[in-house]
Structure 1
Amino acid sequence: MDTIDAPSPPSTDSAEDVFGIPAEAHLLKQVIVHTPGQEMELVAPDNREELLFDDILFVGNARKEHLLMCSIFEKIVGRPETVLQISDLLLEAFKKEEARHTFVEKLCRSLPEQNLGTVENELKQFSPQDLQQFALTGESDLPIRVQPVPNLMFTRDLAAVVHDHIILSHAATVARTRESIIINVILNHHPRFAPYSDKVIELPPGVTFEGGDLLVASPDTVLIGHSERTSFGAIMTIAHELFERTPVEHVVAVDLPRRRATMHLDTVFTFASPTEVIAFPPLLESHGFGYAMHLMPSDEPGQFMTDMRPNFRDTLDDLLDRELTYIPCGGTERLHQEREQWTDGANVFAAAPGAILGYERNRRTFNLLQEHGYRVVSAESFLSYYESSPFVPGSEKVAIQLAGTELSRGRGGPRCMTLPVARHTQPTGDNA
């Protein structure tokens, strides 16, 4: 049966409501996530490495843990539609025939080695539900074999929002190429986002960028990891676009070792509040691996002023208008620092200033947070405590422990699993 495209209701939000990240750790407004589903069930021992997984997750428990995380966000933010599921957004976008055709055409062009062109016409005839299922799992009745996209749960890598613009990823691996196409189609065709397509920054061919490498340190300063997933060409392009389109005046490129443990900047450095960061100590040491290149706009069109810095921490201290407290991931001993960095101890997500979520297994990191004035509490206890009362952002510093027994085996923490699209202008809210 043919599918009839229903008209999309016009968006009633402003561009700043849809896209707006002035800085890390401000009170969250809206975040895109993906709760693991059938696509994760298709990760097997013989394809897990190709799909970038070190282990196989117990999907039922992973879903429970992820949904618990989403409940934490909803309680802290306290507004409708705080959490948007990317699978729902994709299905809603696919109600438009143009979106379905665009997805199929981009897929066939981006993955020529999979010979999808032989079934392009058949894919274009899929219903929105069938195409969504194919997009996530690769499964269909067609005579083709396509891998699932289990890494979709790491929505952070799909894009990065800076002020009222969103930068689309260019996946560094074939296993994640379809994810880049999925977010592209959503941003250009979903009725929530399509009216603001002029706010979407698409990078040129030949460069790679994943959103876990970008942090908005302040309204005028952006940090980008030069990593195994983000190329220097992408950093230069992003800097040019941000200088042209946003209030950003400084872009700091941070060099990272090209290895899985440090695949993105947010694996070694995240904000817990506007004045506190959790960092893997070698990044900050005078002879650590984090040398920095400071980029600034030039009077010459298309040119930058550059300043090479041997130490990332000194660069931040010079650029930011506030003093930062650095909380070492894993504590004071190098062995524990390395163990907890491996299990995402530095990859926390701030839903509000000083209200963060991390994996409970990183106990030494939580012990240090407690020493810095944080109340450490389990996710379940937090929800129970605030069951009948609202959480007031800024009223206390709280570090929420997510068990994450299954989620942590996917090698990504709470920040990896979240793509914030809007935060408040002021840290604890617009009227703060």
Structure 2
Amino acid sequence: MKNSKPLSNRIKVTSEVGRLRRLLIHSPDRGLGKVVPSKAQDWLFEDIVHLDTMRRNEYDYYVKLLLYFLDPDKIKGKLSAIDNDNNRSFYKPGVEGYFNSDRVIDLQRLLCEVLEEEVVRTTLIASICGIERCSFQTQQELGTYDSDELAKIFISGSLPDKRMLFAPLPNLIFTRDIGIIINDHILLNKPAKSARTRESLLAQYIFFHHPLFAGYRDKIIEIPNNENHFLLPNDEKISDYNRTTLEGGDVMMVAPRHLLIGCSERTTLYAAQQVMKLLFERNVVDTITIIQIPKKRDYMHIDTVFTQVKKNMWVLLSSLARQGDESKKKDVLHFFAPKAMTEDMKIMQFFKGLEHKPIEIENLEDLLTDISQNDLGAKEQVKFIYSGNNEFPFGEREQWTDSCNLLALKDGVVIGYDRNDKTLEAFREAGFRVIKAADLLEKFEQGELSPDTISDTYIMLPSSELSRARGGSHCMSMPLLRDEL
């Protein structure tokens, strides 16, 4: 395998589809099993899930696939032994037998390692107890746990004896939202909802204190608050013109000098402007395109509406893709779209040094075509695969279960959910191999296929429980290193 040599602590992402070499994930933890219906909305989780099914029958396949593509020495020839271990030791940070890869990295492992430093440990315990309003007695009790257990407590909200100290962080499986790599810079995000405050705090401590990021301390970008933020009302539903919130699902590094930022239910225009100012000042990118999408739960981030499949191909929701008058004439479904949807969709492109002269782009397909052809140099015709194969009502139905939310492991090889039948049909029509995760892993084990040579493939991840969380494989990843295209 080509990628079995140890990596240096390199961090760099210049596209959405370059060969993935390193990423952050977080496996479903015991906190997910603590979500109750009465608090699910408050904790920003769409539904309650069956934790053991989510782990064993679904997310474990995600981990195995990632390791086979990114760190095959950890898994090749070992699948049978891994699958026959009822304790799942392979998947548990801090347990003997854990895969412990420096390419597929669980956030919990990094948190455990920074907690080994006494100053970090003390200040983080105090900080979390402060925001969670814990008693001094609880703060002292937390200090008695080792780093492995303390990391689990901070994430799950519960003690080993199953007592709950504070709310779990069920959304931490969506590591995309805590930050994003923009070339060789790290943008730390600001969650829109107070339920994710602890996630943001944990991310700050990890990125500023873990040795993996030691060479990038001066390249960490924190979004400044509005200088009068303390005067704003506490109501999270206030107009977003002065609120500074941004999540990673709304940021895409589509080309070395071009960044997309979505303004959505979770990311405000004010935050997008602040990021643009900082990135242009640091000369990190030359072009930033701001995509305003409807503030609806259906379209929480731009990566729920579209993601890139390969240099010249994208998967997207057609009702938000073609918004111009000429485009609508070609779109037989446009009359099903509510009027507000078309009014709320807007695309503005800004250039470094000419920020005062943005250009408006008529529709999403024009933007994505331009990125493929002019930013990435695609020679082939730019193609689009539509959610639900552009058939009513499957486009909207399957977008709800993340048909547009795919993670590219390399150019043309993506992981997505197995339940979106019409979208899978569209991939087959486009010439893609569509294969179950288990079947592909078996072919890797038998040497029939190789991650290095496989192409044009949609890998189906089991998703009966994962899809309840309203986030796909793109959401469940924070790429740290990709090959340049």
TM-score class, shorter-chain normalisation, is 0.7 to 0.9
How many angstroms does 1:19 deviate by? 1.6
How many angstroms does 1:363 deviate by? 1.0
Contact 2:255 2:371 in 1 (8 A): no
Q: Which residue of 1 aligns with 2:245?
A: 208
**Whole-angstrom CA distance in 1 between matches of 2:444 and 2:367:** 40
Task: Tell me the SS of whatever aligns to 1:36.
Answer: coil
Q: Which residue of 1 aligns with 2:207?
A: 187
Question: Match for 1:136 among 138, 155, 161?
Answer: 155
How many angstroms does 1:370 deviate by? 1.0
**Whole-angstrom CA distance in 1 between matches of 2:438 and 2:189:** 34
Contact 1:209 1:234 in 2 (8 A): yes
Q: Which residue of 1 aligns with 2:230?
A: none
**Whole-angstrom CA distance in 2 between matches of 1:123 and 1:228:** 38
Q: Please show how residues 243-254 of structure 1 align to structure 2 within 5 Å.
A: 243-254=280-291
Task: Tell me the SS of whatever aligns to 2:212.
Answer: coil
Q: Which residue of 2 aligns with 1:115?
A: 133
How many angstroms does 1:393 deviate by? 3.7
**Whole-angstrom CA distance in 2 between matches of 1:295 and 1:394:** 38
Task: Tell me the SS of whatever aligns to 1:176.
Answer: helix
How many angstroms does 1:268 deviate by? 0.5
Q: TM-score, normalised by structure 2?
A: 0.79
Q: Alpha carbons of 1:36 and 1:319: their partners in 2 closer, same or farther (altered >3 Å)?
A: closer
Task: Tell me the SS of whatever aligns to 2:61.
Answer: helix
Tell me the amino acid that sits aligned with residue 173 of structure 1.
K
**Whole-angstrom CA distance in 2 between matches of 1:305 and 1:116:** 50
After superposition, the CA RMSD in angstroms is 2.4
Q: TM-score, normalised by structure 1?
A: 0.88
How many angstroms does 1:136 deviate by? 1.1
Q: Please show how residues 7-406 of structure 1 align to structure 2 within 5 Å.
A: 17-64=9-56, 65-78=58-71, 81=101, 82-107=103-128, 111=131, 114-116=132-134, 118=136, 122=140, 125-126=143-144, 127-140=146-159, 145-206=165-226, 207-287=244-324, 288=342, 289-298=344-353, 304-318=356-370, 320=372, 321=374, 322=378, 324-389=382-447, 391-393=450-452, 395-406=454-465
**Whole-angstrom CA distance in 1 between matches of 2:33 and 2:51:** 7
Gaps in structure 1 of 5+ consecutive residues: 1-11, 427-432
Tell me the amino acid that sits aligned with residue 375 of structure 1.
R
Task: Tell me the SS of whatever aligns to 1:413.
Answer: coil
How many angstroms does 1:315 deviate by? 3.1
Q: Which residue of 1 aligns with 2:98?
A: none
1:124-178 deviation per Cα after TM superposition (whole angstroms, max 9, x unaligned): 734423431321122349x994111111111111111111111111111111111
186-195 vs 56-65, which moves further? 186-195
How many residue pairs match? The answer is 407
Q: Alpha carbons of 1:204 and 1:395: their partners in 2 closer, same or farther (altered >3 Å)?
A: same
Gaps in structure 2 of 5+ consecutive residues: 1-5, 74-100, 227-243, 325-341
Q: Alpha carbons of 1:247 and 1:275: their partners in 2 closer, same or farther (altered >3 Å)?
A: farther
**Whole-angstrom CA distance in 1 between matches of 2:290 and 2:69:** 32
Contact 2:280 2:352 in 1 (8 A): yes
**Whole-angstrom CA distance in 2 between matches of 1:177 and 1:314:** 37
